[in-house]
Structure 1
Protein backbone atom coordinates (compact mmCIF):
# COMPACT_ATOMS: atom_id res chain seq x y z
CA UNK A 1 0.00 0.00 0.00
CA UNK A 2 1.36 3.40 -0.97
CA UNK A 3 1.75 5.70 2.03
CA UNK A 4 0.14 9.08 1.51
CA UNK A 5 2.61 11.92 1.63
CA UNK A 6 1.83 14.48 4.30
CA UNK A 7 1.22 18.05 3.24
CA UNK A 8 3.35 20.90 4.51
CA UNK A 9 0.41 22.04 6.63
CA UNK A 10 0.02 18.60 8.21
CA UNK A 11 3.73 18.47 9.02
CA UNK A 12 3.55 21.93 10.63
CA UNK A 13 0.50 20.93 12.65
CA UNK A 14 2.21 17.80 13.96
CA UNK A 15 5.29 19.84 14.87
CA UNK A 16 3.11 22.27 16.82
CA UNK A 17 1.35 19.50 18.74
CA UNK A 18 4.65 17.80 19.55
CA UNK A 19 6.29 21.09 20.52
CA UNK A 20 3.33 22.13 22.66
CA UNK A 21 3.31 18.89 24.61
CA UNK A 22 7.05 19.18 25.18
CA UNK A 23 6.66 22.80 26.34
CA UNK A 24 3.77 21.90 28.65
CA UNK A 25 5.82 19.15 30.26
CA UNK A 26 8.82 21.44 30.67
CA UNK A 27 7.17 24.67 31.85
CA UNK A 28 3.68 23.59 32.91
CA UNK A 29 0.54 24.50 30.99
CA UNK A 30 -0.13 27.74 32.91
CA UNK A 31 3.38 29.09 32.29
CA UNK A 32 3.56 28.10 28.64
CA UNK A 33 2.82 30.89 26.17
CA UNK A 34 2.12 30.62 22.47
CA UNK A 35 5.58 32.14 21.95
CA UNK A 36 7.19 29.26 23.85
CA UNK A 37 5.14 26.76 21.89
CA UNK A 38 6.24 28.33 18.60
CA UNK A 39 9.88 28.32 19.73
CA UNK A 40 9.74 24.67 20.86
CA UNK A 41 8.03 23.63 17.63
CA UNK A 42 10.49 25.64 15.51
CA UNK A 43 7.69 27.51 13.76
CA UNK A 44 6.50 31.09 13.82
CA UNK A 45 3.89 32.30 16.28
CA UNK A 46 1.69 33.19 13.33
CA UNK A 47 1.86 29.58 12.13
CA UNK A 48 0.72 28.37 15.54
CA UNK A 49 -2.28 30.70 15.44
CA UNK A 50 -3.07 29.65 11.88
CA UNK A 51 -3.67 26.14 13.20
CA UNK A 52 -4.99 26.82 16.71
CA UNK A 53 -6.97 29.84 17.88
CA UNK A 54 -5.72 29.67 21.45
CA UNK A 55 -3.59 27.70 23.88
CA UNK A 56 -6.76 26.19 25.33
CA UNK A 57 -7.86 24.83 21.95
CA UNK A 58 -4.36 23.42 21.47
CA UNK A 59 -4.53 21.73 24.87
CA UNK A 60 -7.86 20.17 23.95
CA UNK A 61 -6.45 18.78 20.70
CA UNK A 62 -3.56 17.21 22.61
CA UNK A 63 -6.01 15.59 25.03
CA UNK A 64 -8.04 14.25 22.11
CA UNK A 65 -4.87 12.83 20.57
CA UNK A 66 -3.85 11.13 23.84
CA UNK A 67 -7.42 9.84 24.29
CA UNK A 68 -7.45 8.38 20.79
CA UNK A 69 -4.10 6.62 21.15
CA UNK A 70 -4.76 5.32 24.67
CA UNK A 71 -8.40 4.30 24.63
CA UNK A 72 -9.67 4.22 21.04
CA UNK A 73 -6.71 2.76 19.14
CA UNK A 74 -5.76 0.50 22.08
CA UNK A 75 -7.20 -2.94 21.53
CA UNK A 76 -7.84 -6.14 23.43
CA UNK A 77 -9.78 -8.42 21.14
CA UNK A 78 -12.39 -10.47 22.93
CA UNK A 79 -11.38 -14.12 23.10
CA UNK A 80 -13.84 -16.84 24.13
CA UNK A 81 -10.87 -19.07 24.92
CA UNK A 82 -9.30 -16.78 27.54
CA UNK A 83 -10.59 -16.18 31.08
CA UNK A 84 -13.23 -13.46 30.90
CA UNK A 85 -12.15 -11.68 34.07
CA UNK A 86 -8.51 -11.57 32.94
CA UNK A 87 -9.45 -9.78 29.70
CA UNK A 88 -11.85 -7.46 31.51
CA UNK A 89 -9.22 -6.49 34.09
CA UNK A 90 -6.70 -5.60 31.42
CA UNK A 91 -9.11 -3.17 29.78
CA UNK A 92 -10.24 -1.58 33.04
CA UNK A 93 -6.63 -1.17 34.17
CA UNK A 94 -5.88 0.62 30.90
CA UNK A 95 -8.77 3.03 31.60
CA UNK A 96 -7.44 3.67 35.11
CA UNK A 97 -3.87 4.17 33.90
CA UNK A 98 -5.13 6.73 31.39
CA UNK A 99 -7.00 8.67 34.08
CA UNK A 100 -3.99 8.60 36.44
CA UNK A 101 -1.36 10.04 34.11
CA UNK A 102 0.13 12.90 36.17
CA UNK A 103 1.24 14.82 33.08
CA UNK A 104 -2.36 14.67 31.90
CA UNK A 105 -4.01 16.33 34.91
CA UNK A 106 -2.92 19.88 34.16
CA UNK A 107 -3.97 19.55 30.54
CA UNK A 108 -7.41 18.35 31.61
CA UNK A 109 -7.83 21.21 34.10
CA UNK A 110 -7.16 23.76 31.35
CA UNK A 111 -9.47 21.98 28.90
CA UNK A 112 -12.28 21.78 31.44
CA UNK A 113 -11.98 25.48 32.21
CA UNK A 114 -12.02 26.33 28.52
CA UNK A 115 -14.95 24.04 27.75
CA UNK A 116 -17.07 25.62 30.48
CA UNK A 117 -16.85 28.98 28.77
CA UNK A 118 -16.55 27.91 25.14
CA UNK A 119 -19.18 28.01 22.45
CA UNK A 120 -21.91 25.40 22.19
CA UNK A 121 -20.49 24.17 18.90
CA UNK A 122 -17.08 23.57 20.46
CA UNK A 123 -18.61 21.63 23.35
CA UNK A 124 -20.65 19.62 20.86
CA UNK A 125 -17.50 18.76 18.89
CA UNK A 126 -15.80 17.59 22.09
CA UNK A 127 -18.79 15.52 23.16
CA UNK A 128 -18.92 13.85 19.74
CA UNK A 129 -15.25 12.97 19.96
CA UNK A 130 -15.43 11.44 23.43
CA UNK A 131 -18.44 9.38 22.41
CA UNK A 132 -16.20 7.38 20.06
CA UNK A 133 -16.16 3.64 20.57
CA UNK A 134 -13.25 2.68 22.81
CA UNK A 135 -11.50 -0.66 23.16
CA UNK A 136 -13.53 -1.34 26.31
CA UNK A 137 -16.86 -0.72 24.57
CA UNK A 138 -15.87 -2.95 21.65
CA UNK A 139 -14.87 -5.72 24.05
CA UNK A 140 -18.09 -5.43 26.06
CA UNK A 141 -20.15 -5.70 22.86
CA UNK A 142 -18.31 -8.82 21.72
CA UNK A 143 -18.49 -10.52 25.12
CA UNK A 144 -22.17 -9.65 25.36
CA UNK A 145 -22.79 -11.00 21.85
CA UNK A 146 -21.09 -14.24 22.89
CA UNK A 147 -23.57 -14.63 25.74
CA UNK A 148 -21.15 -13.91 28.58
CA UNK A 149 -23.40 -11.17 29.95
CA UNK A 150 -27.15 -10.93 30.40
CA UNK A 151 -29.27 -7.78 30.16
CA UNK A 152 -26.29 -5.63 29.25
CA UNK A 153 -26.24 -2.54 27.08
CA UNK A 154 -22.53 -2.07 26.34
CA UNK A 155 -22.71 1.73 26.21
CA UNK A 156 -24.54 1.94 29.54
CA UNK A 157 -22.20 -0.62 31.13
CA UNK A 158 -19.21 1.40 29.92
CA UNK A 159 -20.68 4.53 31.54
CA UNK A 160 -21.13 2.62 34.78
CA UNK A 161 -17.52 1.45 34.67
CA UNK A 162 -16.20 4.94 33.94
CA UNK A 163 -18.34 6.32 36.76
CA UNK A 164 -16.84 3.83 39.22
CA UNK A 165 -13.32 4.64 38.03
CA UNK A 166 -13.55 8.42 37.94
CA UNK A 167 -15.00 8.65 41.44
CA UNK A 168 -11.66 7.45 42.83
CA UNK A 169 -9.15 7.80 40.00
CA UNK A 170 -9.89 11.05 38.21
CA UNK A 171 -11.98 13.74 39.90
CA UNK A 172 -10.21 13.63 43.29
CA UNK A 173 -6.90 14.18 41.47
CA UNK A 174 -8.23 16.79 39.04
CA UNK A 175 -9.65 18.75 41.99
CA UNK A 176 -6.41 18.19 43.94
CA UNK A 177 -8.21 16.42 46.77
CA UNK A 178 -6.09 13.27 46.54
CA UNK A 179 -2.74 12.16 45.18
CA UNK A 180 -2.62 9.82 42.18
CA UNK A 181 -3.36 6.23 43.06
CA UNK A 182 -0.50 3.84 43.71
CA UNK A 183 -0.12 0.80 41.49
CA UNK A 184 -1.61 -1.34 44.24
CA UNK A 185 -4.62 0.99 44.54
CA UNK A 186 -5.13 0.93 40.77
CA UNK A 187 -5.21 -2.86 40.77
CA UNK A 188 -7.60 -2.91 43.73
CA UNK A 189 -9.94 -0.42 42.03
CA UNK A 190 -9.85 -2.42 38.78
CA UNK A 191 -10.67 -5.67 40.58
CA UNK A 192 -13.52 -4.08 42.55
CA UNK A 193 -14.95 -2.47 39.40
CA UNK A 194 -14.82 -5.69 37.39
CA UNK A 195 -16.35 -7.64 40.26
CA UNK A 196 -19.27 -5.22 40.56
CA UNK A 197 -20.01 -5.27 36.83
CA UNK A 198 -19.71 -9.04 36.61
CA UNK A 199 -22.02 -9.47 39.61
CA UNK A 200 -24.57 -7.30 37.81
CA UNK A 201 -24.35 -8.75 34.29
CA UNK A 202 -22.51 -12.10 34.25
CA UNK A 203 -24.54 -14.93 32.77
CA UNK A 204 -25.21 -17.64 35.35
Structure 2
Protein backbone atom coordinates (compact mmCIF):
# COMPACT_ATOMS: atom_id res chain seq x y z
CA UNK A 1 0.00 0.00 0.00
CA UNK A 2 1.38 3.41 -0.98
CA UNK A 3 1.95 5.97 1.73
CA UNK A 4 -0.87 8.24 0.48
CA UNK A 5 -3.27 5.26 0.35
CA UNK A 6 -2.33 4.32 3.91
CA UNK A 7 -2.93 7.87 5.11
CA UNK A 8 -6.32 7.92 3.39
CA UNK A 9 -7.24 4.60 5.03
CA UNK A 10 -6.04 5.86 8.44
CA UNK A 11 -8.18 8.99 8.03
CA UNK A 12 -11.25 6.94 7.12
CA UNK A 13 -10.71 4.55 10.05
CA UNK A 14 -10.30 7.50 12.42
CA UNK A 15 -13.42 9.16 10.99
CA UNK A 16 -15.46 5.99 11.50
CA UNK A 17 -14.37 5.96 15.17
CA UNK A 18 -15.09 9.66 15.60
CA UNK A 19 -18.52 9.48 13.93
CA UNK A 20 -19.42 6.45 16.07
CA UNK A 21 -18.33 8.16 19.28
CA UNK A 22 -19.55 11.71 18.62
CA UNK A 23 -22.18 11.40 15.89
CA UNK A 24 -21.81 13.34 12.68
CA UNK A 25 -22.65 16.74 14.19
CA UNK A 26 -20.32 16.33 17.17
CA UNK A 27 -17.42 14.93 15.15
CA UNK A 28 -14.47 17.28 14.64
CA UNK A 29 -12.02 17.06 11.75
CA UNK A 30 -9.20 18.11 14.11
CA UNK A 31 -9.98 15.10 16.30
CA UNK A 32 -10.13 12.84 13.23
CA UNK A 33 -6.74 14.12 12.04
CA UNK A 34 -5.25 13.56 15.50
CA UNK A 35 -6.59 9.98 15.68
CA UNK A 36 -5.20 9.32 12.19
CA UNK A 37 -1.78 10.82 13.10
CA UNK A 38 -1.97 13.29 10.22
CA UNK A 39 -2.17 17.06 10.02
CA UNK A 40 -5.47 18.79 9.33
CA UNK A 41 -3.96 19.92 6.03
CA UNK A 42 -3.29 16.28 5.06
CA UNK A 43 -6.87 15.36 5.99
CA UNK A 44 -8.23 18.18 3.78
CA UNK A 45 -5.93 17.12 0.93
CA UNK A 46 -7.77 13.79 0.93
CA UNK A 47 -11.26 14.98 1.92
CA UNK A 48 -12.45 18.53 1.37
CA UNK A 49 -14.94 18.40 4.25
CA UNK A 50 -16.49 16.30 6.98
CA UNK A 51 -19.37 15.67 4.55
CA UNK A 52 -16.96 14.27 1.95
CA UNK A 53 -15.54 11.93 4.60
CA UNK A 54 -19.03 10.75 5.48
CA UNK A 55 -19.79 10.12 1.79
CA UNK A 56 -16.61 8.06 1.45
CA UNK A 57 -17.60 5.99 4.47
CA UNK A 58 -21.12 5.52 3.07
CA UNK A 59 -19.59 4.23 -0.18
CA UNK A 60 -17.42 1.80 1.79
CA UNK A 61 -20.52 0.57 3.65
CA UNK A 62 -22.38 -0.02 0.38
CA UNK A 63 -19.33 -1.82 -1.07
CA UNK A 64 -19.07 -3.99 2.08
CA UNK A 65 -22.75 -4.94 1.81
CA UNK A 66 -22.35 -5.72 -1.90
CA UNK A 67 -19.12 -7.70 -1.83
CA UNK A 68 -20.97 -10.91 -2.66
CA UNK A 69 -20.72 -11.74 -6.35
CA UNK A 70 -23.97 -12.11 -8.34
CA UNK A 71 -25.32 -15.65 -8.06
CA UNK A 72 -26.23 -17.31 -11.39
CA UNK A 73 -28.93 -19.97 -11.64
CA UNK A 74 -27.62 -23.52 -12.09
CA UNK A 75 -30.20 -25.62 -14.00
CA UNK A 76 -28.56 -28.83 -12.75
CA UNK A 77 -29.28 -28.01 -9.10
CA UNK A 78 -32.44 -27.58 -7.03
CA UNK A 79 -33.49 -23.92 -7.13
CA UNK A 80 -34.61 -23.86 -3.48
CA UNK A 81 -31.23 -25.19 -2.31
CA UNK A 82 -29.44 -22.58 -4.45
CA UNK A 83 -31.64 -19.81 -3.07
CA UNK A 84 -31.08 -20.81 0.56
CA UNK A 85 -27.31 -21.08 0.06
CA UNK A 86 -27.21 -17.63 -1.53
CA UNK A 87 -29.32 -16.15 1.26
CA UNK A 88 -27.06 -17.60 3.97
CA UNK A 89 -24.00 -16.13 2.21
CA UNK A 90 -25.77 -12.77 2.00
CA UNK A 91 -26.75 -12.88 5.70
CA UNK A 92 -23.13 -13.67 6.65
CA UNK A 93 -21.94 -10.60 4.75
CA UNK A 94 -24.50 -8.11 6.08
CA UNK A 95 -24.07 -9.32 9.67
CA UNK A 96 -20.27 -9.24 9.57
CA UNK A 97 -19.01 -7.15 12.51
CA UNK A 98 -17.34 -4.53 10.28
CA UNK A 99 -20.40 -4.23 8.06
CA UNK A 100 -22.69 -3.87 11.07
CA UNK A 101 -20.48 -1.15 12.57
CA UNK A 102 -20.51 0.82 9.33
CA UNK A 103 -24.26 0.36 8.97
CA UNK A 104 -24.90 1.58 12.52
CA UNK A 105 -22.75 4.64 11.99
CA UNK A 106 -24.19 5.57 8.59
CA UNK A 107 -27.83 4.78 9.36
CA UNK A 108 -27.78 6.88 12.54
CA UNK A 109 -26.78 9.89 10.43
CA UNK A 110 -29.31 9.09 7.70
CA UNK A 111 -32.07 9.11 10.32
CA UNK A 112 -30.98 12.58 11.42
CA UNK A 113 -30.52 14.11 7.96
CA UNK A 114 -33.46 13.56 5.59
CA UNK A 115 -31.73 15.11 2.57
CA UNK A 116 -28.67 12.92 3.01
CA UNK A 117 -30.98 9.92 3.51
CA UNK A 118 -32.82 10.64 0.26
CA UNK A 119 -29.55 10.97 -1.66
CA UNK A 120 -28.22 7.74 -0.15
CA UNK A 121 -31.34 5.72 -0.97
CA UNK A 122 -31.54 7.20 -4.45
CA UNK A 123 -27.97 6.03 -5.07
CA UNK A 124 -28.50 2.60 -3.49
CA UNK A 125 -31.56 1.92 -5.68
CA UNK A 126 -29.27 1.79 -8.73
CA UNK A 127 -27.45 -1.31 -7.40
CA UNK A 128 -28.70 -4.86 -7.83
CA UNK A 129 -28.55 -7.34 -4.97
CA UNK A 130 -26.40 -10.39 -5.79
CA UNK A 131 -29.45 -12.66 -5.52
CA UNK A 132 -31.34 -10.71 -8.21
CA UNK A 133 -29.48 -12.60 -10.95
CA UNK A 134 -30.47 -15.97 -9.49
CA UNK A 135 -34.13 -14.94 -9.23
CA UNK A 136 -34.14 -13.34 -12.68
CA UNK A 137 -32.66 -16.39 -14.38
CA UNK A 138 -35.02 -18.73 -12.50
CA UNK A 139 -37.91 -16.60 -13.77
CA UNK A 140 -36.57 -16.72 -17.33
CA UNK A 141 -36.50 -20.53 -17.38
CA UNK A 142 -39.91 -20.87 -15.73
CA UNK A 143 -38.86 -22.22 -12.33
CA UNK A 144 -40.79 -19.36 -10.69
CA UNK A 145 -43.32 -17.06 -12.31
CA UNK A 146 -42.15 -14.04 -14.28
CA UNK A 147 -42.26 -10.71 -12.49
CA UNK A 148 -39.93 -7.82 -11.76
CA UNK A 149 -36.82 -9.62 -10.41
CA UNK A 150 -35.61 -6.56 -8.49
CA UNK A 151 -38.97 -6.22 -6.71
CA UNK A 152 -39.08 -9.95 -5.97
CA UNK A 153 -35.55 -9.82 -4.54
CA UNK A 154 -36.43 -6.83 -2.36
CA UNK A 155 -39.51 -8.65 -1.05
CA UNK A 156 -37.51 -11.75 -0.14
CA UNK A 157 -34.63 -9.82 1.41
CA UNK A 158 -37.03 -7.68 3.45
CA UNK A 159 -38.25 -10.89 5.09
CA UNK A 160 -34.74 -12.23 5.61
CA UNK A 161 -33.31 -8.95 6.93
CA UNK A 162 -36.21 -8.60 9.38
CA UNK A 163 -35.17 -11.83 11.06
CA UNK A 164 -31.40 -11.94 10.54
CA UNK A 165 -30.07 -8.38 10.09
CA UNK A 166 -32.18 -6.11 12.29
CA UNK A 167 -31.92 -8.15 15.51
CA UNK A 168 -28.13 -8.22 15.07
CA UNK A 169 -28.10 -4.50 14.23
CA UNK A 170 -30.15 -3.42 17.26
CA UNK A 171 -29.38 -6.12 19.85
CA UNK A 172 -25.89 -7.29 18.90
CA UNK A 173 -27.21 -10.85 18.87
CA UNK A 174 -29.69 -12.90 16.92
CA UNK A 175 -32.26 -15.04 18.74
CA UNK A 176 -33.90 -16.11 15.45
CA UNK A 177 -33.76 -19.88 14.79
CA UNK A 178 -32.12 -20.92 11.52
CA UNK A 179 -35.35 -22.64 10.41
CA UNK A 180 -37.02 -19.24 9.99
CA UNK A 181 -35.06 -18.81 6.74
CA UNK A 182 -36.92 -21.85 5.40
CA UNK A 183 -40.21 -20.09 6.21
CA UNK A 184 -39.06 -16.90 4.43
CA UNK A 185 -38.21 -18.91 1.31
CA UNK A 186 -41.50 -20.84 1.51
CA UNK A 187 -43.48 -17.58 1.73
CA UNK A 188 -41.56 -16.17 -1.22
CA UNK A 189 -42.10 -19.31 -3.31
CA UNK A 190 -45.81 -19.48 -2.48
CA UNK A 191 -46.20 -16.04 -4.06
CA UNK A 192 -43.94 -16.67 -7.05
CA UNK A 193 -44.93 -20.25 -7.82
CA UNK A 194 -45.70 -21.00 -11.45
CA UNK A 195 -49.46 -21.17 -11.96
CA UNK A 196 -50.72 -24.25 -13.80
TM-score (norm 1): 0.70
Look up the match of 1:192: 183
CA deviation after TM superposition for structure 1 residue 83, in Å: 1.8
Pairing partner for 1:129 from 119, 123, 130: 123
Matched, 1:20 2:28: no
**SS of equivalent residue, structure 1 residue 149:** coil
Q: Distance in 1 between matches of 2:104 and 2:64?
A: 20
Q: Distance in 2 between matches of 1:141 and 1:154?
A: 5
CA deviation after TM superposition for structure 1 residue 133, in Å: 0.9
Deviations 1:139-170 (A, max 9, x none): 21122112211143212112211221232223
Look up the match of 1:3: none
For structure 1, the 5+ residue unaligned runs are: 1-5
Aligned length: 189
| RMSD, aligned CA | 3.5
Q: Do the aligned partners of residues 130 and 15 (structure 1) sit closer, same or farther apart at CA in structure 2, a change above 3 Å counting?
A: same
CA deviation after TM superposition for structure 1 residue 52, in Å: 5.8
| Cα contact 1:78–1:143 (8 A) shared by 2 | yes
Deviations 1:26-63 (A, max 9, x none): x8921686456435544323333451633x76455334
For structure 2, the 5+ residue unaligned runs are: none
Matched, 1:96 2:91: yes
Look up the match of 2:174: 181
TM-score (norm 2): 0.73
